[in-house]
A and B are shown apart, each in its own frame.
Chain A
Amino acid sequence: QITLKESGPTLVKPTQTLTLTCTFSGFSLSTSGVGLAWIRQPPGKALEWLAIVYWDDDKRYRSSLQSRLSITKDTSRHQVVLTLTNMDPMDTATYFCARQLWSGSYPDFFDYWGQGTLVTVSS
Chain B
Amino acid sequence: QSALTQPASVSGSPGQSITISCDGASSDVGAFFSVSWYQQHPGEAPKLVIYDVSHRPSGISSRFSGSKSAKTASLTISGLQAEDDADYYCASYTLNNTPLFGGGTKLTVL
Count residues on chain A whose CB falls below 8 Å from chain B CBs. 27
Q: Which residue of B lies closest to A51 (CB)?
A: B98
Whether B104 and A46, one on each chain, are in contact in the complex, defined by CB atoms closer than 8 angstroms, is yes
Main secondary structure of the interface of A (DSSP, over half): strand
Task: Find chain B residues with CB under 8 A from A116 CB.
Answer: 45
CA distance in complex: A49, B96 (Å): 13
CA distance in complex: A27, B98 (Å): 22
Q: Which residue of A lies closest to B96 (CB)?
A: A63
Query: Beyond A63-B1, A106-B93, A109-B52, is A47–B46 a contact (Cβ under 8 Å)?
Result: yes
Contact with A along B32-59 (1 / 0, CB 8 A): 1010101010001111100110000100
CA distance in complex: A37, B93 (Å): 13
Binding site for B on A (CB under 8 A): 37, 39, 45-49, 52, 60-64, 96, 98, 100, 103, 106-111, 113-116
